Each structure stands twice: as C-alpha cells, then as structure tokens.
Structure 1
Amino acid sequence: MHTHGEDEGRKKFELPGSKPHYPPSLPFAITHMRLAIEPDLQERSITCEQKLSITILQDTDVIQLDAAELQIKSISAGSKLEFRSLDDKLIVKLGRRMKEGSRIELAIAYTAKPRQGFYFVTPDKHYPDKHLEAWTQGEATQAKYWFPCIDHPQVKFTSEISVTVQSGFTAISNGRLHKVEQRGKKQVYHWSESNPHPAYLASVVVGKYAEIKEGSLQYYVPPERKQDAPRSFDQTPKMVKFFEEYLGVKYPYEKYAQVVVQDFLYGGMENSSCTTLTLDTLHDKRAHLDFTSDYLISHELAHQWFGDLVTCRDWQHIWLNEGFATYCEALYWGASRGNDEFQYHMMQMADDYFEEAGTRYTRPVVTKVYKHPDDLFDRHTYDKGGCVLHMLHHHVGDIYFRRSLKTYLQRFANGTAETDDLRKVFELETGKSLQQFFDQWVFREGHPELKVDFLHDSDSVKIKVEQAQFADPFEFALDVKLAFARSKKTHTFKISEKESAFQIPVDSELEWFSIDPQFKILKTISIKAPNEMLVRQLNDGDTVTERVEAARALKDKSSDTVIDALKEAILHDKFWGVAAEAAKTLGAIRTDYAYEALKKCLAVKHPKARRAVVKAIGEFRKEETLELLRPVLQKDESYFVESEAATAMGKTKSRQAITILKKATETDTFQNIVAQGAIAGLKEFAGDKEIAEFLVEKSRYGNHHRTREAATFALGKFVDSHAVFDHLKSLLTDRWFRVRINACRALADAELTKAIPDLGWVAEHDLDQRVKRVAEECINIIKDATKKPKEVAQMREELDRVKSKNLELLQKVDRLERELR
C-alpha cells in the first residue's frame, strides 16, 4: 500500500476551481408542488404547468428559483408577475413586499427541450429495437432542467404530479396513483406523494411496460423481459421485511415501485417510492450463476430510509445517504447469505476504497470543498462511509447501534440531517463520547497503514505495530488472536502512537496468529511472520478475514510448500472468496510451479473462484495458455469465466488468438460480457493495424453500448495510427457518456500530450460532470507521465503501473455508478 506523504506525487481530490460550498440561505420555503407535465417522446420536449406553494420565512419581494434552459411562458399569483431568467436562475418579482409567515402560490407555465434531467429514448436506424421511453434523473442538481425548484437537498416538499401520455403508455411517479383519466387518445396519470422530498427525488418515467404487482410492491419491465424480472426482484419482499425489523422503522411510503429503463445513467436511483433501475440488471438464468441484482436492489431500497425519509442537509454530508445505503446493502447480504459472505463483502468494500485512496486521492468523508456535487459520489462516500458505519457498529455494539439508527430515523423523519446530528443521536443512545471517532474517521482523510512485526520465543509473543501513514496516528482498539494447538485467545490492545509494542506471555507453542480477525478496523496491513504460521492461518483460520489475509500475506513467498497450500485453499476452502484470493496470490508468485498448480485448479466448482483461477493463469502470459483456455472460452457454464478466459488468451500475444477473440466479440451474452473480455484480449496486440481497424468498427455507434465502451478504451493502445487518434477525438463528443469517458481514458493510456487541448475542451464543455472530472484527471495523468525520465526503465515501469492503477480506478468508479447511486 502506498504511504501518503507531502511529496509532489500525492494527488489532490480538489481540482482547480474547487471551492467551499455551503447550504443556501432561503427567505422562503417550498411546501408543495403541483406539476402537470406532457412529454412529447418524438420531439423530445415537455410542456408543463406548475404550481408552487410557498411560505415566506423573511420579508421579501422576490422569489429566486433554480431553473435551467426552461422557456418560461408566464408566471402568476392571482395576477401576472414580472420575471427574468439569469444563467440557471429564475427571478420572480412579487410586485409587493410579503411578510414573514405569509403564503403565496406561484403558477408557472413553461416548455423545454431538456438536455439534462429529463431524458428521452427513441429508436433510430442504428438501434431500431429501442422502445420509446422517457425518464428523469435529478441527482445531484438536474431537477432544475425539468421544473423550477430549489435544487438542493435541504428543501423538501410534498407533490402532486400528473403526466399526460399517449394511450398505451404508462406513467410512473412518486407516491400513490389516484386515478388514470382518459382524454381522447391520451391518458393522464395522477400521482400524489404525501411525504416531503427534495427536488432531486422527484421522478417521472414514461413507457410501455409489463407490470408485476405484489401488494404495495410494483415492478415495471419491458414486456419482452418479463420472464427475467423474478431473478432481479423476487427478494424485494424479504429485503423490506429485513430493513423494517433491523431498523425498527416501517417502510415509509405508500408503495414501492421499481422501474427498469433503457440507457439509464446509473445502476439505480432511489426516487421517493419509485426507484429507477438500469436495464442491465435484468439477467438470464446462466448469468444468475455468478451475478445477482440483490446488491443494487437492496442498496436502492435502503435509500428509502436513508436519503429519502431522512435526507442529508447538504451535499457535503452525502455519506449519510450513500454510506448508509452501502452498509445496509452489506447487512442484508450477510443476513441472506451468511457471515462469510458479509465479511468478504466488507473487505471488498475496503479494498475499493483503498485503491482509490492509493492511486487517485484521499479526502475526508465529509468535505465542503469541491467543484461540483457529483465529485463527491466516489469510493470515499460509498465504501469508506460504509466501513465507518461498520466500525461504529462494532464500537457501540449491535443493540445500541440499532437503537441509535431507529432514533435517528424517527427524529429526522421527513426532514434533513447533518453528520453531527447522527453523532449526537449515537451519543444520546449509547452514553459514549464519539467526537474523536467522527473526527478521525469522517472529518479527517486517510486511514491507518499498519506494518506488523512478529517475534516468538518459548515464553512470550512480541508484536510491534507501526502506523506507516505519513499523517498523525489514528487511535483504535486492535484485536490480536493467538492460536495454540488446543485453544485460541484474543487480546485487545489500544493503538494510539506511531509505534506500539506488546508482549504477551504464553505457556505453549503458538500455531498461528491473526490481526483484527473480525475486520473491525478500516486499515491496510503488512505482516511479517514465518511462512509456516501464515500457511496454518490459511488452513485453520476461523474467519474469512483471517484466511484471506493469510492468502494475501503469502504473495511474496514462492516456496513449493506455500504454493501447495494455496492450491489446496483453492480446491478445498469452504468459501469461494478465500479460493479466489489464493488464486490471485498464485498469479502474483508467477513461478512455473505456481502455474502448474493453477492448471490443476481449473475445475474448481464455484464460478467466481474459477474466474479468479483463469485470470491468474493469464498473468503468466504463457503461450501454452491459449490451448489450455480455449475449451474454457467455448463451453464454461459461466459468462464471466468465459470473458476472463478471452482476456487471458489475449495476454499470450499468440497470433492464433486473434481469430478466436474476434469471433468471441460477436457473441451475444449478458451485458456482452464475453465480448468485453475478448476486446480486452485484443488490446494486448498494441499497434496492430488490422486489430485497430476492427476495434474502431466495434466502437462505432450502433454496436452494443458495452462493446463500444470496451473497444473505445482498448483503442488507447493503437493511437500511433492517425486514424485511431482522430476517431478517439470524435468519440469525445459521442452521444453515450460512457464512451466519452473511455475515450478520455484511452487518450490518457496513450500518454498523448497532443490530446490535452481536446481533453481540456471536454473538461470545459461536456454536459456531464462525471465526464468533465475524468477529462481533468486524464490531463493530469498525461502531464505526470511526461515528467518522468523515460530513459530509466525501472522508473518507466513504475510509472506505467501507477498510470494503469489510475485508469483502473476511473473504470471502477464507472462500475460503482453502474451499480449504484
């Protein structure tokens, strides 16, 4: 793990232009919205009449609303009012000074052809099978593109939304459906939400769907995908029951709808009582072997409590929405799958955060300094936030944790909260002082980076713990388990200094030991211990955490005994995650004996473990891998294993692989995952003109979006061709934002300084804030690359590793957004 210091290489979260953001001061409150909206799906436009109920909080003669690119026709409050639009603000002159406590209803008529916020999907000659559809996406600040509002989470209001559509179409919105009114060839759906919600959680979806109802639960999917719906949604009733019992608070809305839409920008969006989900979550029986929608479904459902019922008061506290939803997702996963799955899920969450912290940036979980609120939707908010809650859970105990959550949800129901509000509730319920806990884990950046040395003699065990991070030491309780032939004992030590040393008397031979066996602390760890102890820990560890940490600690060991132990773990450990970690370690050892061991593990039963074995075999880049994995690509039961096999075959760089991989790109599988793996394999043939042309074609509009994204990124290895460079430049303005992101990443991968002006244009002009940020980070990657002395091979290799990690991180952030919001 990289140790952060005050060196030039440490990357900052804050991009140029970042500044402190604070909640707005408001002289009025919006208490209710009535919105009548008629979308024209063909013209990609909306016609609207809105009525806003407003209570004056301070004497004023002006109402200022957020409204972007709306063509305002008229505004009245009994009589017509003067107004003007300035940038993204709508300024309404009331014509008189209104007193504190008075009320006014503004009637606003407007039209729009939204470029954000309200999205249209239409078929064209390239995608003739797409359905006519429209959906909204408000978070973080896109609601203002389809209705005037205060586009900030602290302002919550009740709503009535009526949607006029052509007969045969369905309109879904927040709350309860009062009636469907027939008006000639059109229908009007009248929805009402009695719970107040912020503007970003208002939702409208229009399309033709198969509707599945289970009481107050509703699922809307494309008619041709109805048979796949149960695989994604059938656990929803159990999830609702689990969260109600765990949190002690009933599901807060009158219904819960989940609507699957085309071309959605995220994995899901937790609009109050009606979550919108990506079509990519629907999957067939074969994909269900090692893919589940449960993470996504439980995450968005948990938001109905954390984010919707109780909303963060300002974006700087967004972890109160996303950190809680991420941890609740883990809690349900553990309740439904068992503690092994829960522990490994938490470790993977931590790993994703560590990777962002190590190669992208570190920041406090709560920070008010940023460029745009979208910048905050990262691994720090989601994964570190979830891990902080896991630590808090252990710190106060399960009974007090759940009691505190119940009080928090009840106290701030239908309102907003800040991080200090959460702390105070926990202090009230537990009697513990928690300011230090929140200061070091939430308001401070970084985490402990532990180096553990172990010494053992006949009558004592000596353990030295160093906090190797550049910053000041953290303070926490660290569990150390000692395992003897007939007993085990856990000791807990307070860690508060840069270096701590402990001596534990023992009266029998120590078999093995583990640090933090229950994964209570968010930390990286490097352990120096005898090989035989690590092997025993791998074999005999009681928890998944212990066995995984042992497998990871063995990556620098290459003895036959270690390799045999790792092979046995792959074949016989009861949990697939340990097998996968053991395979990864063998892939890192890279001796011939390790390769032979992995070959013997290809038949491991669990598809996720088998996928890890195939990936590890690919790391050796041996030509014989081509024939070894050819049958895996052709007939494995798992799409994901086949995909990994395709990538591994490409790493052999055997010309024989090219035809096989090109053929694999034509396969039609869940999320085109096999085609993606094949394209990653073709990427290994950097500079090959024929493959470059092939990938250019695969990246063109009209191919499956996942194929296009993979091909676009792969083209970064082929930019020696002027045609490829020009094509990547054209993709920077592609219709699909993920293609634009991957075009940026490809240019960064190629380290093309001549691409900086084009990336700069994207950073300045792209509509999507995520694309803008990626463009800026890619410019920095290119600039960093040019600073290094290329003639020094070792430094060059290190630079490539760091660059690769940065680009991987951008891809993983993209994966996060695919899965969650």
Structure 2
Amino acid sequence: MYRSAILSLLATLLLAVSCNTTRPTVDPVQTTPAPVEEPAITETRDLDTMTVTPEANGTITEEEMEGTPEPTETRVAPRAIAFTRVNDLMHTKLEISFDWEQEMVIGKATLRLRPIFKPATEVTLDAKNFEFKSITSASGEPLEYSYGEDKQQVTIQLDKVYTRGKEFTVVIDYTAIPHDAGGAGEAITSDKGLFFINPRGEEGDKPRQIWTQGETENNSRWFPTIDKPNERTTQEIYVTVEDEYKTLSNGTLVSSTPAGDGMRTDYWKMDIPHAPYLFALIVGDFEIVEDEPWKGKPVNYYMEPKYADHAKAIFPHTREMLTFFSNLTGVEYPWPKYSQVVVRDYVSGAMENTTAVIFGEYMNGTARDLIDVDQNEKVVAHEMFHHWFGDYVTCESWSQLTLNEGFANYSEYLWMEKKYGQDAADYHLINEWQGYFGSVRNGEPHELIWYDYDDKEQMFDAHSYNKGGSVLHMLRSYVGDEAFFSSLNNYLEQNKLSAVEIDELRMAFEDTTGEDLSWFFEQWFHKAGHPQLSITTDYADGSVSLTVEQTQATDYNVPAVFRLPVDIAVYTNGTPEIHSVVIDQREQTFTFPVAAKPDVVIFDPTHQLLAEYDYEKSPEELAAQYRYAPAFLDRYSAVGRLSMLEGNDTLREEILTAALQDTFYAIRGTALQSLEAPTPVQLDLIREIARNDNHSQVRVTAIMLLTEAVDEQLPEIAAAAMEAQPYTVVAAGLQAMVATDADAAARAAEQLEAIDNASISGALAALYSETGALEKLPYLEQRLATTDGYEAISLYTAYQALLAKGASAQQTSGVAILKDLALDQSQSPWRRLAATKAISDLRNDLSTRVEEATEDADLNKLIMEMGNSLETIKATETNAELKSIYQQF
C-alpha cells in the first residue's frame, strides 16, 4: 500500500500550513528543489533508526555506559501475536451481485477448508455485518451456526468431525452492507472494505463505481473468509453487473456471459494462493488499454475514457519495471497478469491487490500534466514490488508489516537509481528521511517490528515505510550489492507463497553471507529510534582526529549505543582517503595520519547511515565539500549552508555559481533559492535556466526570480515560457507576463481557463485575487473540488483572498462551499485542509475589519457562523493529523 502524500508530509507541515499562505519550498512529491534549512555551519542529518549494541551478544560494558543517560521509559512488549490458524482456507468461490440503491452486496460463498492439525468440528469465519440466508454443506445440508451480537464472526458447526488433511466445504448465502466500524487509520481513511461511488447517480457527472479496499482486515465486510495476513487461498469470483460496466479482479478473466436484462457475469480466476486482504473487485465505466504482453502475460490499464490516451504516462514504465524487478530479485514476476486502475474517492494512496492494483485519482493527468512528475512512477514501482514482497511472501502479522512496506518503499529508491542515477535516488532518500524524522518529532519512536501497538492501523506509518526502506538501504551498504540481492533471492525462494516474520529475513541473509547479523536486526528492527551523533574534527602534528558522541535519549526502547560500521573520507588536496571504522561506544575518537591539513572530512561519504548528526564545518570546508565530494547530499548541503553564511562572499559566489551549473536539478534549484544579489555571471546563468533548463520546476524557480527582479529580459522569457510544454512553466510565464504586460496577461488568462490543470488554475487564482476580479469566483469554485495536493492550498488561499474583497452575499455563499468541502470525508485530506484553512483565514481577515470599521451586523453574523463552522469541522474530521492541525485554527 502506498501512503498518500499528505500522510507522509503533514507531520512536517503542522506549523508551516497554519502560518504560510504560499506553497512550501520543500515539495518532495512534486520534486520541487528545496534549500537545505540547516544552521550555517552545523551539518544536521536526519536518519531512520533502531538500536545497535556494541557487541554481537547485545551487552554494553560499564565503561561504555559511563555518562549514558538512564532510560526514562521501558516498554513491556508482548511477543507479536500471529493469528492462530486452526483451519486452512484452501479455496474461495464467490458469486456476487449488487444492489446499488441500497449499497448492498448479494453473495454466495463456497469455501473449501481443511484442519491444519487438530480435528475440527467447527469453523469460525470473519463476516462483518452480514445477513445470512443459509449456510450449508457441499451437499446442501443445513449447518448450524452462531453469530455474535457484534456481527463480526460466524461460527459454523460442521456435519461431522474432520481430521487433519480432510477437506470440508461450507456454502454461505448472504447479503452484506459494508459500513465503517471506526477502525480506520491514517493510511486507510475508511474501513468499509467495499465502496459504492455515486451509487444512485446523485453526484453530477461523477462516474458510478464499485471498488474494494481489503487491507488490513476489511474484505470480510463483503465476503466471509479467514481475514488474516497469514492465511492464503486460491479464488474464483463470478460477478454479475450491468453490461455498460467493466470489471477487474485478481487473476485471469476466464469468461463473460450474458445474464439477461442487460446484465453480464464475468468469471475471474486466481490459481495461485494469496492472502484474503489482497482480493480485489472493481466495477466501473473503464476503457481497457492493452499494453504489449510481458513474457506472454497481459499488461493493461483500466482508464476513465478521458484519460485513455494517457495510460502510459499515468502508469509509466510498467513493463520495464516488471523486467527490472524480476532481474533484480532473480524471481520472475510470478502472477498471471498485471492490471492497474485509478478509482474515484479512494481511501488510500494505492493498494497492491494481486494483479489488480488500485490507485487514487491523484495519479490521473494528461501526458503534458505529468511532465517531470516522478510521483506516478514511484507509486507504480512501490505497488509492483509488493507482488514479490507482500503478495508472494507475506508478513505473518501486522506487527511485521515492514516486511511488506519497507521493501515496497525501498523499491522506489531502486527504481530511481536504475532509471535516473545515484543523485536522483539519493534525493529521494533524503525526502524519505525527512518524512520519518518529522513523524518522530511529532510523535514517539517505536520498533520496526512493533509488538505493542494499540491498533494494527498504527503500523501504516513512517516507521514501517520510510524507516523500513532506509534500514534495508543500510543493510545493502553493509553486506554489499551481490550479497544483498542474493539474500533477497534466497528469502523469496525459501518463503514463496507463505507468511514470514523478521527472523526469516535475517536467516536468509545469514545463510547467504555466512555472517551472524543478529546485532544488525536487533538494533534496527527490534529496538526503537536512531543514533544522534555529535561530530568534531581536529588537526595537529600530521594527523586528523574525528570524535563521535552518541547523544540520543534512551527512552522508548532506544539504545544508548548503536553499533555503526561507517566510512570516513579525509580529503587532502582534493583526493580522498577512505577509512572504515566501527562506532560502538557512547563516545569515540578516531585518528588518521595525513600529509597535510585536510580540505574537509566527510563522515559517511556514501550517506547510507540512518542517523541525525551535528557536525560543524568552516566555510572553507563547505566549499571543499562541494568541489570534491561527489555525493548528492554533500553538494546539496554545502550549497544550502554556504548561502546562509555571513562574509566569505568570494566562496559563496564561487560555489553558488558552480551549483547553478550542477548536473542535478535539485542542486541547481537550491542554488537559485539561495541567491540574494546575483552577480552578472549568475544572472546570465539564471536567464539560461529560465529559458532552457530540462527540469520544469527549476525553470519555474528561475522565472520567478527574474519576475521578482523585473529583469530586463523578462518579456522575452515570459513569452517563451507561455509556449512551453510543462504547464508549470506556462503558469510561471503568466505571472511573469503580469509584471511586464498586464493587458497581454489578461488576454492570455482568458485562454488558459479552458485548461484543466492545477498549476494553471493556481496562477489564474493568484492573478484574479490580486486584481480583485470577483466575476471570476465561479471559475475558481469549479476548480476547488478538483485541485489537490499543495496546489489546493494555493488555490483555496487565493479564493478566500478574493472572497474577502467581495460582498457579504458572495462571502456567505463561498463559506458554505468551503464548509461542505471541509466536512466531506470523501474529499482528499489536502482539500479538507485547504478549505478549513481558507475559512479560518477569511474569518481572521474579516475580524480585523470589524475591529477597524463601524458595526456591520451581516459581517458579525458571518464571522460567528465561520467560527461555528470551524468547530463543526473539527468535530467531524476523522484524520488524526488534520485534527492536530485544526487546533491551530
């Protein structure tokens, strides 16, 4: 499952969103270049962690404990409880139809099971909120059953005793009305299991759809099963729908048969067993776009008709990834097909249903919309890699979720590395670190293998995802590429089509490498937190010393001492000498001989270590770091920190000028954002970037800089931008044109209104808000319900700023629109946040006017109504992170 962008980023935006009215500078989803906001001469790294002890046996000596803080809290963690399996669910046959009006599933389930070990006289199935018409044996004999008042599980008495290995069948005729049970979490905002979208056709032109979301244990809201991750079953689904709709499910479409009265029955079959939470069923008006088969296996995309021509841009590089991941793991993609679909009002980011991946509508767009947007391919990679790690080999309990999500998270790094190179992969990695560190700063650290969570939905967080992927990256760095990927192959082959826990991954690595890796798995998977390091260097008498102190607090099961194998690069006259050391004490000093005073010392030059560290460097050292250290993070942080140093203008000019010509776009973008008074040489470089940079966001940043300065070449640059392909560049061109030719900008704006693109809408909203074009309120209101992500914050902010200039009736109507969006839990979290913030900002603006002006009864009434609306929104909101932000309003 892919956590939606807001879920990984909101933790770092809690204050920024409430205070800023412009788009934040750090936008890892849209890959907007961002400055490194660090103290001027203190290098700060944020890394994922668990704990490592200095000895393989997990002991710490008294000397090492000297000066170590006492733990303030110790968790008493019960052993993870995997579901105790009594009966093995071997096969599931479903016959399904729907009552759209009542949002009801009409089903018949034929389940074939057998006792695992002990003789069985009954079987208990998960079946949530069902009405049973009958439950019988395979021969049709009625079976007695009991169904609890909470309607969660049904216990069926079998017709006789079945001993180990003897199969039995139960046939269940039922109806189900899926509904929320209050068990949703941050990654999955509703636990209905099966969703009817616009079922009665009451929501305008929104398409009617049915789709499922089974993870964690919600598929048992629409069919009876043993709804646990350590269960595995083959399946058949016969689904009867109106002829106008297409269906998608796991496995192969065997047949489509007329069912009379304009209906059709599709028969889907999956011969390879997989977990019940991976069952999927999608119904809707889709156009099926067939790609070339991959090694004889169908690859297709279920598209809303308007996006059918853009399928390969929405789901980029799908076939190439199938080949890449097959080769990388040494296990050829094992499933019979690969299908992908975008649905409306999805309750998560994306879901790896076996062979039938579902995505939220944030993926949709035209090929032109998606220029330079790498989010889509990361999500495609994430869900595809699950077909090895999650679907083929499945975590046995939700405590072990990182065995699914950590690998899927790391697939994004692997793909970026393969497709775009080391810099792109490392830039992605630091954004993952930011997500993890932000979550820890706003919460509590916990173990990756987390046995004492309060609710299984808590597992879908930046630990299981971001930290899990980062820990795998460290493991790869430690054992080396050949051993890492050989171990993954070993793990997959040994555990295929089964459920696993973390020790099986450890043993696969130990079997492959011959090394006892219990120290690594103990500190990173079974302990919490990450190292926090204070680093200093000194040079004297022909040697350089580096001192490392571990400063992390030891509460929440965070180790006092992590064992950290790491390299140290000492650069002298531009040439590095690499020293490999092991940090295994609370404080250690390493000394290396050098021929002369080093230019700079780089700690962890490959930047694989998941840790935070403070490391003071002089401007000269930072300049040398940019000149000589090849890693992206060294260049990136040197540029960001040099720009904030006072004095040393010559060094700053040299490095920023070089950075404007860096080969990687994020560093060019950082340099642009770091400039205060460009030199003539830098100004020429900015103009060249504004005209021709191959990354649209960098080009936009350059155009905006020139717009703010009203550069003499701006008219020509603005005109060229208006003809560009990326809409983001066109939007920047419009803003530049406003500064040079307002009439031409107004004419261009009229033409741009026909374009359905968030960047264009945002630029138009800013223009109309600034000029007070109240007649454009209806245009902006049309865009409110379709704009998402950061663009929603910008659009809604501009909308409320324009509302503030309007009449009382316009304001009242606009607030009602915003309130409806904020209260609608089917809207994306970004829209709900943007709408709530817009109401709060408008209330603050109008309240200031009341204080400064004469009494206005209508205005006072509206202000009071907005206050009441905010309280209602706070009480209605289900997303925990949004509720936290809303306390600021």
Tell me, yes or no, whether TM beats 0.5: yes
1:251 to 316, 333, 337: 333
Deviations 1:72-129 (A, max 9, x none): 3222223223443532413234166745424432211222343422223349888654
Contact 1:67 1:90 in 2 (8 A): yes
Deviations 1:666-686 (A, max 9, x none): 56344x24435766899999x
In structure 2, what is the equivalent of residue 733 of structure 1?
Answer: 823
In structure 1, what is the equivalent of residue 193 of structure 2?
Answer: 117
Q: Does 1:601 align with 2:686?
A: yes
Q: 1:370 aligns to what SS in structure 2?
A: coil
Q: 2:328 aligns to what SS in structure 1?
A: helix
In structure 1, what is the equivalent of residue 440 of structure 2?
Answer: 357
In structure 2, what is the equivalent of residue 798 of structure 1?
Answer: none
Contact 1:209 1:223 in 2 (8 A): yes
Q: Does 1:569 align with 2:658?
A: yes
Distance 2:100 2:671 in 1: 52
Residue identity opposite 1:238 in structure 2:
E
Q: Does 1:742 align with 2:839?
A: no
Residue identity opposite 1:218 in structure 2:
V
In structure 2, what is the equivalent of residue 474 of structure 1?
Answer: 562
Distance 1:400 1:136 in 2: 39
Distance 1:595 1:124 in 2: 64
1:74 to 123, 134, 157: 134
Query: Counterparts of 1:532-551 in structure 2 under 5 Å?
Result: 532-551=620-639
Deviations 1:605-646 (A, max 9, x none): 776866357559979997969989976985554334556789
307-316 or 144-153: bigger deviation:
144-153
Contact 2:818 2:836 in 1 (8 A): no
Distance 1:736 1:188 in 2: 30
Aligned residues: 753
In structure 1, what is the equivalent of residue 171 of structure 2?
Answer: 107
Query: Counterparts of 1:648-687 in structure 2 under 5 Å?
Result: 666=753, 668-670=755-757, 672-676=758-762
In structure 1, what is the equivalent of residue 26 of structure 2?
Answer: none
Deviations 1:643-664 (A, max 9, x none): 67899999x9xx99x9999989
Q: 1:463 aligns to what SS in structure 2?
A: strand
Residue identity opposite 1:451 in structure 2:
S
Deviations 1:517-560 (A, max 9, x none): 21221123333222122113213322323312322442531442
- Following superposition, the deviation at residue 32 of structure 1 comes to 1.2
Change (3 A) 1:508 1:748: farther
Distance 1:373 1:479 in 2: 38
- Following superposition, the deviation at residue 694 of structure 1 comes to 7.9
Distance 1:646 1:71 in 2: 59
1:492 to 577, 580, 583: 580
In structure 1, what is the equivalent of residue 155 of structure 2?
Answer: 92
Residue identity opposite 2:235 in structure 1:
S
In structure 2, what is the equivalent of residue 790 of structure 1?
Answer: none
Residue identity opposite 2:626 in structure 1:
L
Q: Does 1:263 align with 2:345?
A: yes
In structure 1, what is the equivalent of residue 89 of structure 2?
Answer: 30
Residue identity opposite 2:317 in structure 1:
Q
TM-score normalised to the size of structure 1? 0.80
Residue identity opposite 2:532 in structure 1:
E
Distance 1:361 1:718 in 2: 41
Deviations 1:284-328 (A, max 9, x none): 343343124321222211111000001111112111111101212
Distance 1:502 1:548 in 2: 26
Distance 1:286 1:730 in 2: 31
* Structure 1 alignment gaps of length 5 or more: 5-11, 764-770, 786-821
Change (3 A) 1:594 1:662: farther
Change (3 A) 1:576 1:2: closer
637-646 or 218-227: bigger deviation:
637-646
Q: Does 1:186 align with 2:263?
A: yes
In structure 1, what is the equivalent of residue 503 of structure 2?
Answer: 420
Query: Counterparts of 1:500-579 in structure 2 under 5 Å?
Result: 500-559=588-647, 560-579=649-668
- The structure, 1 or 2, with the larger RCO (C-alpha pairs under 8 Å, 6+ apart) is 2
Residue identity opposite 1:65 in structure 2:
L
Q: 1:375 aligns to what SS in structure 2?
A: helix
TM-score normalised to the size of structure 2? 0.74
Change (3 A) 1:149 1:236: same
Q: Does 1:370 align with 2:438?
A: no
Change (3 A) 1:696 1:20: farther
Residue identity opposite 1:247 in structure 2:
T
Please provide the CA RMSD for this pair.
4.4
Q: 1:601 aligns to what SS in structure 2?
A: helix
- Following superposition, the deviation at residue 754 of structure 1 comes to 7.5
Change (3 A) 1:634 1:127: farther
Contact 1:566 1:583 in 2 (8 A): no
Contact 2:818 2:839 in 1 (8 A): no
713-722 or 388-397: bigger deviation:
713-722
Contact 1:35 1:50 in 2 (8 A): yes
Q: Does 1:773 align with 2:854?
A: no
2:307 to 186, 210, 225: 225
Q: 1:510 aligns to what SS in structure 2?
A: coil
Q: 2:336 aligns to what SS in structure 1?
A: coil
If you compute each CA radius of gyration, which structure gives the higher value, 1 or 2?
A: 2
- Following superposition, the deviation at residue 410 of structure 1 comes to 1.3
Query: Counterparts of 1:120-199 in structure 2 under 5 Å?
Result: 120-122=196-198, 128-184=204-260, 185-199=262-276
Query: Counterparts of 1:668-817 in structure 2 under 5 Å?
Result: 668-670=755-757, 672-676=758-762, 697=781, 703=786, 730-734=820-824, 736-739=826-829, 741-742=832-833, 746=837, 758=872, 761-762=875-876, 771-778=878-885, 782=888
- Following superposition, the deviation at residue 244 of structure 1 comes to 1.5
In structure 2, what is the equivalent of residue 200 of structure 1?
Answer: 277
Q: 1:547 aligns to what SS in structure 2?
A: helix
Distance 1:371 1:710 in 2: 36
- Following superposition, the deviation at residue 264 of structure 1 comes to 3.1
- Following superposition, the deviation at residue 256 of structure 1 comes to 1.7
Q: 2:828 aligns to what SS in structure 1?
A: helix
Residue identity opposite 1:281 in structure 2:
M
Residue identity opposite 1:777 in structure 2:
S
Q: Does 1:294 align with 2:358?
A: no
- Following superposition, the deviation at residue 378 of structure 1 comes to 2.2
